[in-house]
Amino acid sequence: MRALLVIDMQNDFCPGGALAVPEGDLIVPVINRLMPSFDHVLLTQDWHPEGHQSFASAHEDKQPMETTEMPYGPQVLWPDHCVQGTVGAAFHPDLHTEPAELILRKGFRPEIDSYSAFFENDQETPTGLHGYLQTRGIEHLVLVGLAEDFCVHWSAVDGRKLGYEVTVVEEATRAIDADGSKADAREAMTDAGVRFGSTRDVV
């Protein structure tokens, strides 16, 4: 059984947002067209409290896109984004949210970031998605959304580690692509056994 997993299609990750992914809004119609082909549609939503430790503003003398050491390892510091209850945290207004049977919020713990839909960035704290998929009997995940080199990447790799078949739809994702991060993410996903396909492949 398959599920369409839509990663972080939120205003702050689209043009005009606080952490905009280039052309991020252009994939919304593609995602909407895919939804009717799936019995299960799941959405993730970045959901940070104010002052989250992944924000550069929470660290003195740090700028966005610099890194710092957290107890769980290196952490990229981001502009304030997807703050709980703000317009930036809301889903893109053109995204069809009605078909979603689950909205999974992540990154709400103040001390730890969460790229993956399965685990916080310590790679130990679960989000609960794995248990949900198991109870539904879902074995194949088709991933779309933002950003390919961060949250899509980590979700895809963790999905493979947990035993799921994972396909990333290339037309339905975009990357930040900072310092070659897109190429690195592609390599990591390929090494993990993630497949890349087109909308035609998955419909």
The catalytic site residues sit at 8, 106, 151
Extract the runs of DSSP E, i.e. beta strands, from the chain. Answer: 2-7, 41-46, 67-70, 73-76, 102-106, 140-146, 165-174, 195-197
Residue 38 exposed, middle or buried by CB count within 10 Å (0-12, 13-18, 19+): middle
**Residue 135 CB neighbour total at 10 angstroms:** 8
- How far apart CA 127 and CA 133 sit, in angstroms, is 12
Report phi then psi at 89, rounded to 5: -80, -15
**Residue 180 CB neighbour total at 10 angstroms:** 9
- How far apart CA 200 and CA 74 sit, in angstroms, is 38
* Three-state DSSP state, 194: coil
Helix 181-192 / helix 153-161 crossing angle, nearest 10 deg: 20
